[in-house]
Structures are given as C-alpha cells and as structure tokens.
Amino acid sequence: MLAKSSTELVRQQNSALVLSALRRHGRLAHTEISDATGLASATISSITADLERARIIEKSEQQATVGRGRPRVLFSQRRNCGYLITVIISSDSIQYSLVDYAGTLLDRFTEPRGEGGTAAFLAAISAALIRVAERSRIDRGSVLLVSVSSKGLAHPTEPVLVWSPVFGSQPVDFAAALKDGWQAKVILNNETLLVAGALLEREVKTRGGGEPVLAALSLGHSIGLGIARRAPAGVPEISAPNFGHMLHMPNGGLCRCGARGCVEAYAGFYAILRAAFEVPMDTIPAKFVPVAEIDKIATRARQGNRMAQLAFRHAGAALGFGLSRLLSLHGPMPVFITGPGTRYQDLLQAGIEEGLAQTHVVRLGGMPTLTIVADEPSLVFEGHLNLAFSIVDQDIIGSRQNMQAAGE
Ligand SMILES: [Zn+2]
C-alpha cells in the first residue's frame, strides 16, 4: 500500500467535513456548505466534483421560490451508495432497521429475543440480518456497516459484548453473526453511550454548540450512563462508564451481576420491587420485571403508601450519590435522564437531589441541571446513525478515492 501524502490526508479530512455538514443539515447549496464547514469556495467546488464523480453525493435542483431566478443546485448523499443496518438489543426483543446512505429508514422489524445460550442468540441475529437484506432486495455486499447496541459492557475496540445482564460474563462476538456474503464492518456500542452521543449532537444542531459536555442517565431494569464531550477535532468523545455496577453500599443488596451493593441493586426496577415488598436484600433479582409491576408500586406510592414511597426514595438516593461521584471525578455537567424509569421521576426526584446535595462539588457549584428526555428509543436510533455514518463516511472516502487514484 502506498503511503498517503499529507495533501491527500487534508483532502480526505475536508471531504469528511463536507459529508458531515450534509448529514447534519440535509441538502445544501455550495454557499451553505461553505458557511457550515468554513472551507474556501474553490476547495468545495473541487471536493463536491470529486465526491460526485465517485458517486458518493449527487446534485439536485430546487426551483427559485420568487421570480424566474436560476434554480438552486443542492448537494446530498447518494442514497444507494450503500446501506446500514442497526440492531438494537433490549431485555425482551431485538429491533432491526435498514437505512440507506442518505439516512432514510427503509425497513424495520422487531423480533422477540428468544431463549437459549449465546450460540442460539447469534444464530437468530444472523438469520434476521439475511432477512433484512432479502426483504428490501438489496445485495448483502452493499451493506457497509452493521451497528449493534446493547446494555452491558462492550469491548473497547472489538464488536464483543464482554458482560451483559442476560449472558453475564459469557462473551458474545457479533462478528460471528456475519459470515458468508457479507463485507460489512460490525460495531457494538453500549446503548446509553449512543444516547449521550445523540444528545450532544442535538445540542450542536439546535443550539449551535450548546453544552460542551453532558451525561445521559438511563433508568429501567438496568441503570446505564453515557458521557459525551465535544472535542476540538470535531469527533466527540463518548464513553459509557460502568455506572450501574459502581458500588453504592458496601455489602449491600445483591445485584444481577453477582456483586453486592451496586447502584443498580438499589435503583433498577427489580430493586424497587424488592424494596417495596420488603423482600430480603440478598434475594436473587428477577431477570425481567414488567413495567406494569412498577406502575402498581408507583400508584401506591402516589396514594401515600410509605414502603412504596421509600422504595423510590432509596432508588433516587442511590442515583444521586452515584451522580455526585461522577461530578466529583469529571467536573460539573448537565444530566439528561431517559428510559422507562422517567415515568417515576416525581417519586425519584427528592432522593436524587438528596444524594447530590451532600457533595462538595454540588455545594460549591450548585445542582446540575436535570432534564427529562422521555423518548429513549429515538435517541438510541439517532446515536446509531450519528456514529455509524461518521465511520462509513470516513471509510468510503478512503476506499473510493484510493480506487480513483489507482484508476487514473
Ligand atoms: Zn452489579
């Protein structure tokens, strides 16, 4: 392989800038690309011509709204340049979505998760991925990337789930789900990491910069946390620390991970159920608690039942203490709360504030802003697209421009 010269690298970076501006704003005219990227007009002309020749972007015309002016020429991603599949794994189901290169959702279906070990789980995903391609009659080879998300701990570089609530520490390698006929890259991310990334991107889009760093806290059967921080290079830094299994109370309640005293063992749905019914704290936690069960406890709490109120209060306090540790380590940042547990925010709020108020960082700098964002599934999907397309765009620029250079 030939080493890339620095001018080529700059050119690829500028091409990536143009593509990401088109992703963020949709169809753009030449001058709008210039405004969004800060690149010189001549540079943009040359990049858009190249990207068009490589069939990565396409031109369309928009009639002038007033008078008989010349139509505006708009650039956008070429839809059939390639495809992306997202696989969103929840505690009881798996959702598959097919998206074209311009970001249009083409197909979506959800399957129950099924029983069995990791081999059966991967075989079911493998079969479903083939179905995704067949239903839309696309060639498997044209799928550029499969983006998977799950609760639990993802390997930092490989698409391997290192620990999950269902399979424990039995690793799940998603690359094994794509064998014959696939050329797609496979990535795996923690679900709340994607949520944090999506929230940061929304800040940039709607508030022209917005918060430079934020945390996403997901409440449900398990407790997830993501941190997203804007970076000078433009690609945000996002991470998902193991917040749910951070120690809240030494020798405390039994957690699904097998340890004692984790945040989740006080704030997860099963923990709220356990506390409300005064079940011993060393009882093996239920794998899955229907939201309807927690709704019943919430109703009792709102009617004044003391044990039910305390269950939510303790859950809130565990979250508040956890957040205060996060802020002590990472500095102040706003917290966006999401997931099915947000429907109990009225019952959790006092505990969360109580847990936060006692720390030095909050006493010095004040309470962090807590914002409820109820629609978690939209955030997860947005997070998938943001991350996946930034990878796909980089790959596609590299490979097509190399091909072009070789052909010339
Ligand atoms: Zn745990």
Q: Distance, CA 219 to ligand 1 centroid (Å)?
A: 14
Q: Distance, CA 317 to ligand 1 centroid (Å)?
A: 17
Please answer whether residues 88 and 149 qualify as being in contact, where contact means their C-beta atoms are separated by less than 8 angstroms.
Answer: yes
Residue 67's pLDDT is: 67
Q: Distance, CA 38 to ligand 1 centroid (Å)?
A: 47
DSSP label at residue 260? B
Distances (CA, A) of 287 to 26, 168, 212, 341: 42, 11, 37, 16
In a domain, 406, yes or no: no
Same domain, 10 and 61: yes
Same domain, 239 and 365: yes
Q: Distance, CA 384 to ligand 1 centroid (Å)?
A: 26
Spatial CA neighbour of 231 closest among 273, 197, 268: 197
pTM of the model: 0.91
In a domain, 407, yes or no: no
Residue 3's pLDDT is: 61
Walking along the chain (408 residues) 10 residues at a time, the average pLDDT comes out as 72 89 89 91 92 90 76 90 95 94 95 90 95 95 95 93 90 90 93 96 82 95 95 83 95 93 96 93 83 96 97 97 94 96 96 93 92 96 94 84 56
- Return the CATH number at 185: 3.30.420.40
Same domain, 94 and 53: no
Q: Distance, CA 256 to ligand 1 centroid (Å)?
A: 6
DSSP, residue by residue, 96-164: EEEEETTS-EEEEEEEE--SS-HHHHHHHHHHHHHHHHHHTT--GGGEEEEEEEESSEE-SSSSEEEEB
Angle between helices 30-37 and 6-25 (to 10 degrees): 110
- Rounded Cα gap, residues 84 and 96, in angstroms: 10
Q: Distance, CA 248 to ligand 1 centroid (Å)?
A: 10
Residue 356's pLDDT is: 95
Final residue before a domain boundary, out of 77, 102, 131: 77
Q: Distance, CA 208 to ligand 1 centroid (Å)?
A: 38
Q: Distance, CA 234 to ligand 1 centroid (Å)?
A: 34
Q: Distance, CA 325 to ligand 1 centroid (Å)?
A: 17
Same domain, 210 and 310: yes
Same domain, 325 and 214: yes
Same domain, 184 and 198: no
- Rounded Cα gap, residues 218 and 287, in angstroms: 17
- Rounded Cα gap, residues 49 and 285, in angstroms: 59
Residue 233's pLDDT is: 66
Q: Distance, CA 244 to ligand 1 centroid (Å)?
A: 6
- Rounded Cα gap, residues 50 and 56, in angstroms: 9
Same domain, 170 and 100: yes
End-to-end Cα spacing for the chain: 16
Same domain, 201 and 286: yes
Residue 10's pLDDT is: 86
- Rounded Cα gap, residues 344 and 245, in angstroms: 21
Q: Distance, CA 236 to ligand 1 centroid (Å)?
A: 28
Final residue before a domain boundary, out of 77, 97, 119: 77
Same domain, 16 and 126: no
Domain limits for position 69: 2-77
In a domain, 334, yes or no: yes
Q: Distance, CA 120 to ligand 1 centroid (Å)?
A: 25
Final residue before a domain boundary, out of 77, 110, 135: 77
Same domain, 229 and 293: yes
In a domain, 405, yes or no: no
In a domain, 217, yes or no: yes
Number of domains forming the structure of the chain: 3
Same domain, 333 and 227: yes
Provide the 10 A C-beta neighbour count for residue 408. Answer: 5
Q: Classify each residue of 238-264 as buried b or exposed e, where b means 16 or more C-beta atoms within 10 Å of its C-beta.
A: bebbebbbbbbbeebbbbbbeebbbbb
Q: Distance, CA 110 to ligand 1 centroid (Å)?
A: 28
Q: Distance, CA 374 to ligand 1 centroid (Å)?
A: 25
In a domain, 199, yes or no: yes
Q: Where are the alpha helices (DSSP H) in 223-375?
A: 264-267, 269-276, 291-302, 306-330, 345-357, 360-365
Q: Distance, CA 281 to ligand 1 centroid (Å)?
A: 13
Same domain, 180 and 326: no
Q: Distance, CA 261 to ligand 1 centroid (Å)?
A: 7
Distances (CA, A) of 292 to 297, 314, 360, 372: 9, 20, 38, 21
- Return the CATH number at 13: 1.10.10.10
In a domain, 408, yes or no: no
Ligand 1 ion local residues (Cβ < 5 A): 245, 255, 257, 259, 262
In a domain, 170, yes or no: yes
Residue 404's pLDDT is: 59
Q: What phi and psi, each to the nearest 5 degrees, are found at residue 265?
A: -70, -5
